[in-house]
């Protein structure tokens, strides 16, 4: 069976390249396959037929690069959702716009069965919760593009940690990744909650106020999103430290995970995953069962979009359960919101956030 897809937003993650991830000379000028459009192109039965954006220049650049017919390049998402009958809609706009675009798509005449929303799910917890509620009401699967969940190695590791008790009960995790919290660290924090299958309970945070992307693009506009970190106590009593304060060029995405039966060291930038089993009171290094090599940006991240699009296709076929739901995505967002609230109130924050705190909006690109 063939399916029709549409994309709202024609920026980097939609298919035109991301600052810091791709050749700057190609960004905005050539199609990039590590993207939503590239994911659809890699599937057998999903065809990208329409695209929408409020920026007509970007719309034409994207449409030309990805060979979208001119009469199916829509100025504004409302026009596309009114004119098209779509099986899946990608939302690839800035995070503060995700709520409106997901809700509009779910309630539209286009009637998509799946909405593939870029990470983070939203810029505030309350709007993310409303997105999930509306999609539940309309029978729409909300799939959030936390890319690491769509890589074979991390899926295998999650099963080893959560289902096969590889390192016993996790007690401590220390993490490090580049700034900024909303734009980048949502990957780190979603990986955390995915591996532990846990939710934050208490949060204490620090915000640096530095934003590498704004500085790198010499942007006139300022945003809230910045480097930061702190500690989190999860609802399974795991103690987690988070450091997302340093620039991309000296950063490594790392996890040190200590459990009652062993420990793990994961470095996704240097490509090193290591495992030690606790045997007779000593940590003994062993190969990770069933995992060859380590997770890398070059192979695993680039393939994640094709894997995610395959998952979209399987959802449309009714063959699988949603692997990256909106409810799961809220777990990482509420940690980020908690770090901000804690910093600006100089106090510790409890999760779930109280109603006024759920409305805190963190602007980003």
| CA-closest candidate to residue 61, choices 21, 38, 30 | 30
- In this structure, the number of other CB atoms found within 10 A of the CB of residue 220 comes to 6
Token pair for residue 195? Answer: 């591996």
Cα dist from 116 to 108, 185, 308, whole Å: 15, 19, 9
Q: How many CA atoms lie within 13 A of 21 on its CB side?
A: 18
* CB atoms near residue 195 (< 10 Å): 21
C-alpha span between 157 and 162 (Å, rounded): 8
Nearest Cα to 87, choosing from 325, 315, 303? Answer: 315
Phi, psi of 33 (to 5 degrees): -75, -25
CB 89 within 8 A of CB 80: no
Query: Between the CA of residue 167 and those of 192, 200, 249, what are the distances in Å?
Result: 15, 20, 32
Res 18: pLDDT: 54
Strands 272-279 and 282-286: antiparallel
* The token pair that represents 145 in the structure block: 């593009």
pTM to 2 decimal places: 0.94
Structure tokens at 102: 């997901």
**Neighbouring C-alpha atoms within 13 Å toward the C-beta of 97:** 15
Report which DSSP code applies to 325: B
Question: What is 330-361 written as a DSSP string?
Answer: HHHHHHHHHHHHHHHHTS-EESSPPHHHHT--
**Residue 29: what pLDDT?**
53
64 contact partners, CB below 8 Å, separation of at least 6: none
Structure tokens at 155: 């899926």
Rounded to 5°, angle at Cα 264 from 262 and 267: 175
The length of the chain, given as a count of residues: 365
- CA–CA gap between residue 43 and residue 23 (Å, rounded): 25
Walking along the chain (365 residues) 10 residues at a time, the average pLDDT comes out as 95 74 51 92 97 96 95 98 98 95 98 97 97 98 96 95 96 96 95 97 97 65 90 98 95 96 94 95 96 84 93 98 97 98 97 93 87
SS (H, E, C) 73-111: EEECHHHHHHHCCCCEEEECCCHHHHHHHHHHHHCCCCC
Q: Which domains does the chain have, with CATH numbers?
A: 3-148+302-324 (3.40.50.720), 152-295 (3.30.360.10)
CA dist., res. 282 & res. 139, Å (int): 51
């Amino acid at each position: 069976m063939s399916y029709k897809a549409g994309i709202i937003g024609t920026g980097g993650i939609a298919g035109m390249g991301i600052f810091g991830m791709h050749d700057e000379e190609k960004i905005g000028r050539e199609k990039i396959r590590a993207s939503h459009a590239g994911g659809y192109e890699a599937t057998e039965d999903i065809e990208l037929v329409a695209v929408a954006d409020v920026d007509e220049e970007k719309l034409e650049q994207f449409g030309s690069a990805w060979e979208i017919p001119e009469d199916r390049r829509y100025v504004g998402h409302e026009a596309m959702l009114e004119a098209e009958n779509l099986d899946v809609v990608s939302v690839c706009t800035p995070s503060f716009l995700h709520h409106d675009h997901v809700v509009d798509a779910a309630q539209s005449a286009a009637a998509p069965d799946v909405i593939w929303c870029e990470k983070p799910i939203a810029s505030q917890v309350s709007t993310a919760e409303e997105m999930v509620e509306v999609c539940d009401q309309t029978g729409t699967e909300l799939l959030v593009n936390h890319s690491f969940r769509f890589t074979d190695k991390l899926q295998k590791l999650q099963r080893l940690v959560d289902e096969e008790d590889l390192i016993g009960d996790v007690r401590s995790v220390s993490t490090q990744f580049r700034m900024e919290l909303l734009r980048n660290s949502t990957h780190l924090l979603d990986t955390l909650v995915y591996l532990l299958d846990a939710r934050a309970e208490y949060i204490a945070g620090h915000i640096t106020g530095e934003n590498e992307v704004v500085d790198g693009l010499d942007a006139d506009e300022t945003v809230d999103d910045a480097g930061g970190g702190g500690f989190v106590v999860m609802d399974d009593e795991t103690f987690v430290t988070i450091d997302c304060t340093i620039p991309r060029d000296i950063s490594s995405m790392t996890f040190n995970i200590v459990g009652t039966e062993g420990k793990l060291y994961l470095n996704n930038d240097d490509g090193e995953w290591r495992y030690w089993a606790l045997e007779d009171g000593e940590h003994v290094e062993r190969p990770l069962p069933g995992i060859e090599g380590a997770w890398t940006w070059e192979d695993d991240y680039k393939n994640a979009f094709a894997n995610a699009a395959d998952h979209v296709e399987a959802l449309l076929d009714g063959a699988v359960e949603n692997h990256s739901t909106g409810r799961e995505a809220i777990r990482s967002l509420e940690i980020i919101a908690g770090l901000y609230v804690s910093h600006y109130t100089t106090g510790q924050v409890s999760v779930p956030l109280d109603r006024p705190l759920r409305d805190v909006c963190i602007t980003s690109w």
